[in-house]
Homo-oligomer: A and B are copies of this chain.
Amino acid sequence: MKIFILRLGHRISRDQRISTHCGLVSRAFGANGIVYSGEKDQSLLDSVEEVAKTWGGKFRVSYEKDWKKFIKKWKGKVVHLTVYGMPIQEKIEDIEKSKDDLLIVIGGEKVPPEIYKLADWNISITNQPHSEIAALAIFLDKLFKGGELYKRFAEGTIRVEPEERGKKVVRK
């Protein structure tokens, strides 16, 4: 089961840090890759790829201008995370059961209305306004049942050794 994130509506002037966090969360919480749409931002793609290279694991970063076409071509299921959707706790079992590849769509400030129809599930993580970064992390954590917290990343050049107090970085 492959899991990709589609981040809609990136704007170079406003979203660089938020979109970077989306990419890093996707990777750290066990997704296979992220696809950015909106304005093409090479430095965003480069910076997420650089982290993936340095810290290891296989993680794909790419850009798609036509997000609608990308969703329609996706062979598998589509989840759209939105404050308006059905509570994750009511739907996560159905989503797990499908066993298909999964595309998780997260929006920026304004989301095109078509996405509500294109998605197999519109899912909310609380029906309160907060953050697509938090929604994505919680969704992946529930999907993997916390297993992503134990994930090992191969082939990086750097890793952290957990410490009670202090910073231990191991360079390989």
User: A interface vs B, CB < 8 Å?
Assistant: 14-15, 17-18, 21, 24-25, 27-29, 51, 55, 83-89, 116-117, 122, 124-131, 133-134, 136-138, 141, 146, 148-151, 153, 159-168
Contact = CB atoms under 8 A, between A and B. Distances in A.
- The count of identical subunits is 2
Contacts of A167: 84, 116
A134 B84 contact: no
Given A17-B18, A134-B137, A151-B126, A165 B117 contact: yes
B126 A148 contact: yes
B85 A163 contact: yes
A129 B85 contact: no
Contact of A84 (B15, B29, B168): B168
B55 A25 contact: no
Contact of A24 (B25, B117, B122, B131): B131
Nearest to A14: B17
A92 to B, nearest CB: 11
Given A21-B134, A133-B133, A134-B137, A162 B86 contact: yes
Given A84-B162, A85-B163, A134-B137, 17 more contacts: A18-B21, A21-B134, A25-B131, A28-B128, A28-B130, A29-B130, A55-B128, A86-B164, A89-B146, A116-B166, A122-B165, A124-B160, A131-B133, A131-B137, A133-B134, A134-B134, A134-B136
